[in-house]
Structure 1
Amino acid sequence: MKGMMLAADELGFKDWLAETEPHMLAHALDHASSEDRTQAMRALSAQRADRIFGLLEPVNQLDVLQSVDERTRRRLLHEMEPDDRARMLSDLPVAIGEALLQELTPDERATTRTLLDYPKHSAGRIMSPEFVRLTPGMTVSDALEAIRSGQKRAETVFLMPVADDDMRLLGTVDLAQIVLASPDMRIADLAGRDVPAVSVLDDQEKIARLMKSADLMIVPVVEEQDRLVGIITFDDAMEVLDFEEGEDFARSGATEPVGRPYLSVPVLRLVRARMVWLSVLAVAASLTVNVLNAFEATLESVVTLALFIPLLIGIGGNAGAQSATTIVRALAVSDVVPRDALRIAWLETRTGFVMGLGIATFAMILLSILFDPSIALVVSLTLVFICTLAALVGSLMPVAARVLSIDPAVFSAPFVTTVVDASGLLIYFMVARAVMGV
């Protein structure tokens, strides 16, 4: 917000509000205080306020709605895209969401409820039910007239679905085709099936990755019997990917995603997001304590072995985290699937072995100079085993999670590190017993 106030001082507050690019202005307002955000929204023209409001984070949209007068609140709600409105309402307590729904017109309320009735992570939640639908019997001239009359409420007209009178999807046609075609040419002759349709119940992330990989601006959304009910646009798909990647990033750090801007998150919500996994990891870490306790006599006879415990569990944990992070990402972008488990295991095992061999060779040379050769041999052999095991465990745990329908990010760096710590110590002491006879 400091940058916002500096900009306002230089240009004049109203000039800054009028001249700043919408996405940049929305970003600034998302990071502003509630009072400054409200002041800015009140100073904007109605048309620009509607545009900026739609770009704010849902939690900040609610803050604005609660601070403006009833007339402005109704206008802002009315001008929102149906899918954006549903996204905001889905994040609110039921009572507040229901109160805001009552301020919509009957048609808007029905449309929004329809979207909210779909499962949370389904295509139906992010689709836009407002689009220009062309029919196969239309001429190009008819289609242009339909576009002119429907473009105000439609989310996009760059690519439009073609459906019959029963709303059965027949294909799509893009605006460039229509503009370049002869006025009396029929839409049926222009429509193609190059753009795949998706089911209203399909997973959002799957659709978003399809759109990104195939470079699709929109995809039609259908129900049973290919009945057209909406479209998903590229910008909505990218929001899904941002959200999913944020979830994966949070869970890779052993915390739950909070789903809202950081500075707007209450302390107790942050504690709740982190405490559960911290407790799970604490329980898992007890394995390490048990291993140390079991080999207490070994440590007492060769105290020097204790010096290398932090080194070994650190390298093993990092090797496992590297592998887990790589496979979580590969699963997310569909580079690999669970049936590739054996190939993944073989590749990561070899990778871990070669890494361990390289580190062990360096360790053997250095430790032989500073310590007893038997200590150097124990540490070096352990490094080879730990790196190999860590890479294998780190690669297979996310795959197993996917098979069990658990988010693979859950079994990422911290969890893998904890498991590898305990197993690495077990390997260390077993190698010490074998080499040194302790």
Structure 2
Amino acid sequence: MAENTQVSTPADQLEALLEGPLNAHSLDEIAHLAESTPRPELTRVIGAVPPVRAAVLFRALRKDTSLAVFEALPPGYQAELIRTLRGPEIAAIIEELDPDDRAEVFGELPASLAKKLMLGLDPDEREMTATVLGYPKEAIGRYMSPEVLSLRNDWDARTALESVRARIDEPETVYLLPVVGPGKVLEGVVSLRSLLAADPDLPLSALTREATSVHALTDREEAAREFLSHRLIAMPVTDEEDRLLGILTMDDVLDIMDEEDAEDAARSGGAEPLDRSYLSSSILRIVRSRIVWLLVLAVSAILTVQVLEVFESKLDQVVILALFIPLLTGTGGNTGNQAATTVTRALAVGEVRVRDLGKVIWRELRVGLVLGSVLGSLGFVVAGLVYGWPIGTVMGLTLLSICVMAACVGGLMPIVAKKVGADPAVFSNPFISTFCDATGLILYFTIATVVLGLH
């Protein structure tokens, strides 16, 4: 039988060299392997090793390759790499970045270092970067590109095309071109395709269509969702008076959604998102991302213990009740989490608004009734056949009650979070599970007390 052999790729060899002792020979090998490693793999390797080791590989890359790799790294790791590298090579990369990408990196750096790098920029680049940095971190203005090629509404198609050709290298995108009037007020947009196909003497106003734009202070996730819902390739960003400030592009939107999805996934599991790859994160950084929620959950779980202590006498009378506690708490937590996940998603994509609270509760109440009826009937039959019909009745009624309660709570919590300005994902799995555990046990023992005549 032929033996299985695993072929080591240049990226695997690079990673192995960077994890081992470095000397003159290994540095030459790193430089040689970097030449034959695809850019996506170089990005993965740099993101998987500590910044000090990543800097060694980074210095071995050609300028165009190093820029492409740097742009693909998360902002937190970019900042770590800058602190490690310093020097002229990183200053050149910072100069080449788009203003919105540069602002995102500066936001992760110490103020003194960010100021130093800012002073080293070309005056025009410094001004554009400062403009983007002036917006809050969660505002879409922080992610727009101020390098936008706009056209005047009193031009014809020929003049507009001449302007595009003259400035083709300046903006981040030219596929959708904003059309502005006096004072840079946004009048609409025109696509490059329609501009190229138009009669040169045709007034630009005849080609202009209504623009889907966004205010610079709009929350970044809300703006990104709107961008995707309209299936745009670019979207103008304006101020309160509809004056054009910049443009939002698809790559910026995808970056925002990646960050938001990672944040929601982490928080729904009771952790904070890591700002770099898992393998390159220190043990302390991973612990910090998890410990806060573990402490919160540990404190809140005391509620469940206290509920059990209150009903300890009931358990002494009917010990068999203790066997069903894991089933009931698990059912409540799962039902609540299902409802919360569904409503959180609906909130994110704009299907549900805060004012729809009543509709959501009424819908989840009916969903809970149906789920509870199915599970309760099953619990009644199985528990009744094995432990007797009184116990079966307790199980059936409890499962029905828990499903209704958990579905309503799961639908309520994300909307309440949205109303108070919190992240709906935070109110999902960890908090709802603990709340439903304690409340479910109260329902369980209350029903058991009534049905079984406990005292």
The 2-side partners of 1:153 and 1:408 are apart by 39
1:59, distance to aligned residue in structure 2 (A): 3.2
Cα offset, 1:18, TM superposition: 5.8
Equivalent residue for 2:105?
88
Determine whether 1:155 maps to 2:172: yes
Q: Distance in 2 between matches of 1:327 and 1:69?
A: 46
Output aligned runs, 1:69-218, within 5 Å: 70-193=87-210, 195-218=211-234
- Whether the 8 Å contact between 2:139 and 2:216 is mirrored in structure 1 is yes
Q: Once the 2 structures are TM-superposed, how far is the Cα of residue 138 of structure 1 from its aligned partner? A: 2.9
Residues in 1 aligned to 2:156 and 2:285: alpha-carbon distance in whole angstroms? 56
Runs (5+) with no aligned partner, structure 2: 1-7, 16-28
The Cα shift of 1:249 comes to: 1.3
**Higher mean C-alpha deviation, range 243-252 or range 91-100:** 91-100
Look up the match of 1:51. Answer: 68
Distance 1:331 1:168 in 2: 32
Contact 1:281 1:415 in 2 (8 A): yes
Change (3 A) 1:85 1:351: same
Correspondence for 1:405: 421
Query: Is the contact between residue 219 and residue 233 of structure 1 (CA under 8 Å) also seen in structure 2?
Result: yes
Tell me the secondary structure at the aligned position of residue 199 of structure 2: coil
Deviations 1:60-90 (A, max 9, x none): 3334434557332222111100000001111
- 2:22 is aligned to none
Amino acid in structure 2 at the alignment position of 1:226: D
Q: CA deviation at 1:21?
A: 5.7
Deviations for 1:277-300, whole angstroms, at most 9, x for unmatched residues? 222222222221221111111111
Question: In 2 relative to 1, CA 158–17 (structure 1 residues): closer, same or farther, beyond 3 Å?
Answer: farther
Question: Is 1:357 the equivalent of 2:363?
Answer: no
Question: Which deviates more from structure 2 when the two are superposed, residues 38-47 or residues 414-423?
Answer: 38-47
Q: How many residues align?
A: 434
Percent identity between matched residues is: 40
Instruction: Give secondary structure in 2 for the equivalent of 1:162.
Output: strand
Matched, 1:5 2:21: no
2:431 aligned to 398, 415, 431, which one?
Answer: 415
SS at match of 1:161: strand
Matched residues in 1 for 2:353 and 2:163: separation?
44
What SS does the aligned partner of 1:262 have? coil
Q: CA shift at 1:8, angstroms?
A: 6.7
Tell me the alpha carbon deviations over residues 380-400 of structure 1, each in whole angstroms, 9 at most, x when there is no partner.
211111111111111111111
What TM-score do you get using the length of structure 1 for normalisation?
Answer: 0.92
User: TM (normalized to structure 2)?
Assistant: 0.88
CA contact (8 A) 2:140 2:223 kept: yes
**Alpha-carbon distance in 2 for matches of 1:87, 1:153:** 20
Change in 2 beyond 3 A, CA 1:267/1:33? closer
**Which of the numbers 386, 389, 401 marks the counterpart of 1:370?**
386
Conserved 8 A contact 2:213-2:236: yes
Contact 1:4 1:28 (8 Å CA) reproduced: no
The CA distance in 1 between the partners of 2:32 and 2:200, in whole Å, is: 45
| Residues 412 and 68 of structure 1: CA distance in aligned 2, closer, same or farther (over 3 Å) | closer
Matched with 1:251 is 267
**Structure 2 residue aligned with 1:275:** 291
Which blocks of at least 5 consecutive residues in structure 1 are unaligned? Answer: none
Instruction: Return the alpha-carbon distance in structure 2 between the equivalents of residues 176 and 20 of structure 1.
Output: 37
Q: Which amino acid aligns with 1:75?
A: A
Deviation at 1:52, TM superposition (A): 2.7
Measured after TM superposition, the shift of residue 165 of structure 1 is 4.9
3-state SS in 2 of match to 1:397: helix
